Amino acid sequence: MKQTLYTETLARAAEAEGGTAALASMLHVPEKTLERWMNGRAQTPLRAFLKVLERLTMHEASGAAQAPTMKEGEPLSFCMGQLLARCSRCDSTEFAPAEPEKPLTLVSALACRACGEKVTHGDLISQLAQDAVQYAHAMTAARTRRQASTASARNKSDVRR
């Protein structure tokens, strides 16, 4: 299983919920579907991922979910596929905890390492997930246009014969 931001978040949420069956029930999906998302074999829908982030934030606040450990002083960057979370002010991709002595939770403040712009960790992840969906839609539209163009060119050459 390839570890991604999606799979790691889903695994943390399942642990906080009490297992995959509980998380699947909360998301109103079959457990096998959730397992495919957790194994990276299927893409987690944006709405479900945002619901997981919301629920995980609640669990972190109540103490039911542990914050992930991080290496002290290491820059934080967040990626989904080819996309990286970016600072809205300067477009940088590296962040640091605003309060490094505290655990990194989804409600933690992060600061852009380049310009100091502050952002909430969960908001940054949510925006990245939304960007990933838009990117996927754009790639699908581009592929559809290429296929239509190829088919049109093929039809024109058939007509000439």
Residue 160 has pLDDT above 70, yes or no: no
| pLDDT at 154 (0 to 100) | 76
pTM given for the model = 0.83
- What the chain holds in terms of domains, given with CATH numbers, is 1-66 (1.10.260), 68-161 (no CATH)
What tens digit of pLDDT does each residue of 83-120 get? 999 999 999 999 999 998 888 999 999 999 999 999 99
What tokens does 146 get? 């290429």
What tens digit of pLDDT does each residue of 60-91 get? 999 888 887 777 778 999 998 889 999 999 99
Pick from 5, 132, 112, 131: nearest CA to 56? 5
Mapped onto helix, strand or coil, the DSSP state of residue 116 is coil
